[in-house]
Every structure is written in structure tokens, then in C-alpha cells.
Amino acid sequence: MRVLVTGGAGFIGSHYVRTAVTETDDKITVLDALTYAGNLANLEPVSGGFEFVHGDICDAELLAHVVPGHDVVVNFAAESHVDRSIAGAAPFVRANVLGTQTLMQACLDAGVGKVVQVSTDEVYGSIDSGSWDESAPLRPRSPYSAAKAGGDMIALAYAVTHGLPVCVTRCGNNYGPYQYPEKVIPLFITNLLEGRKVPLYGDGGNVRDWIHVDDHCRAIRLVVDVGEPGEVYHVAGTAELTNLELTGKLLDALGAGWDMVERVPDRPGHDRRYSLDDAKLRALGYAPRVPFDEGLAATVRWYADNAAWWAPLKAAPS
């Protein structure tokens, strides 16, 4: 099977590629614009096992050359950092909405057999109790999540209007190796390794559902294999934690005290809680394999052992 992975040099996309190269016979093409969060070093463990194309999913002419001949397209390409979207929304709308539309059209024109649009639980807004199923209304509250919701709706519209075999996956917060150190877990780990304080938003009571990137990528692969076109599938995590609880676990793992925490003002529109019901995906045979505490400990060890990967990223302007 020939698989095009867009955004395949980013955190989640590169994990998908590394796994596909080492565990399947798929022929993998990676398309990535190599923005600040895209890094070919993420793919070094499988160097030579895939074809790489440097490019942007907004480039229709490029896609017209790259997409044909692929059986499956998995779209990880996105701007994904909420704080950056608050500072400037335009790149998020361009990549997450226009880029998705351009890619869907290219897939339609090329007759691609399966397309998976990788999305986020953030499109639903905030939920006080219980969990969203796939029929929940979209109520995004940040420019990032609004742009992802827009891309999802474009992708599903291509399924309904044109019969493009698209599935959408929506997942909670990912963690694991090779995650760009602006996100909370790698930021806190690397700050503590450097002897620097960690910034905790507001009262620390915001709740997120955490999943190891390996579990997420296995779920996506299952949707590639057996997901029904036009359907949305949730990928729930293995630990719902407040940011305060997460901070405590990271402090313990790095042998640091609460004096290393700096309270900072909450960000605008900060969603209080996310939670997904993934019964639909579990009915296809999915179950997570990585317990949170085990996965977090392995992640801390990876960052401790790989300062050569993350230190230049933190030092570089972005």
C-alpha cells in the first residue's frame, strides 16, 4: 500500500511514519513544509525508509504531482499551538482550513482510496461533566480549534458531496518523544532539566485527557484499515488530569519541588475540561496499551537522554 503522510515530520506524524516504516510493508511518502515544528531529525531513526517531499498542503500544483498513485492519505499537517493562534490566527486558518480543502481536492482528483483527517477534541469547546460522543456539536473557542473544526467540516463535506472516502479522527492531548518543547509536557520537562521554573496557567484546574502518541497512531492506523468513510472516530486518553496534577507528577519525576512552579495569568478563553467517549473506536477492536504513569516516565527519560535534539529547538527563534 502506498501511503502519503502530510505533516509527517511533526510530532505525531513522525511517530506514525516511524511505526509504519518499521512495522508494515507500506511505501511511505512524507510531505512536510518544515515549519518551526517540522523537523527531519524526527525521522532519522527510519532514514532511507521513506520518500520525502518538502512542500505545503496549500500548494495545489505540488499536490497534483505528489498525491496521485497513493492508496491512502493521512493528514497530520496543521498549525496546532493554541497560544500561537491567539497571537496570530492567519497561519492557522491558512493551514488548517485552506490547506485541508486543497488536499481534499487533490485526493478527489487523484481517486485516493482512503483519506484520514487527524483532528482534536478541542473542536468541541469545553465540557463540565461526562464525555462527548461523535454526535456532539462543534463549539470551538480558540482560533486554533476553530480552524481545525473548519478543516474537519470541509473534509466531511467532500465525503458527502463528492463521495471522497474520508474519515476524521479526534484525539485528546498527546505526549511522548520528539514533541516540540512548546507543549506543556516537554516544556516542563526540559525547563526542569535546565533548572528553570515552569509556568502554570491560572489556578491549574483545567482538565485534559492524556494519551501516548503510540496509542494515538495505532488508533489512526485502525481507522485507515477499517474505518467507515464519512465517519468520525474519537481516540480517548488514559488519564484525565488537572494541569495541577500533571505538574505534580512532572515535579516528582524530575526531583523538583513546588518552588520551581511560577504561576502565570490564565490565557484568554482557556477551555476548562475536555473528555472524549471512544466506544465507537473500541467497537472496532481498539484499546490503549500505554498506562499514563509508565508512558510519562519513559517520556521523561527520553528528554533527559536527548538534549541534543531539544536544546537547539529551545534556543532557536521561532
Q: Which residues contact 146 (CB under 8 A, 6 or more apart)?
A: 140
The SS3 assignment for 238 reads coil
Residue 121 designated active-site? yes
Choice among 124, 144, 158, 286 that is catalytic: 144
Residue whose C-alpha is closest to residue 238's, from 299, 293, 178: 293
Choice among 32, 122, 215, 271 that is catalytic: 122
Cα–chain-centroid distance for residue 238? 16
- The crossing angle, in degrees rounded to 10, of helices 307-315 and 292-305 is 80
Cα–chain-centroid distance for residue 99? 16
Q: Which residues contact 74 (CB under 8 A, 6 or more apart)?
A: 3, 4, 5, 6, 13, 16, 115, 116, 118, 220, 224
Residue whose C-alpha is closest to residue 30's, from 39, 95, 113: 39
Choice among 32, 56, 121, 214 that is catalytic: 121
What single DSSP character describes residue 241?
E
Active site residues: 121-122, 144
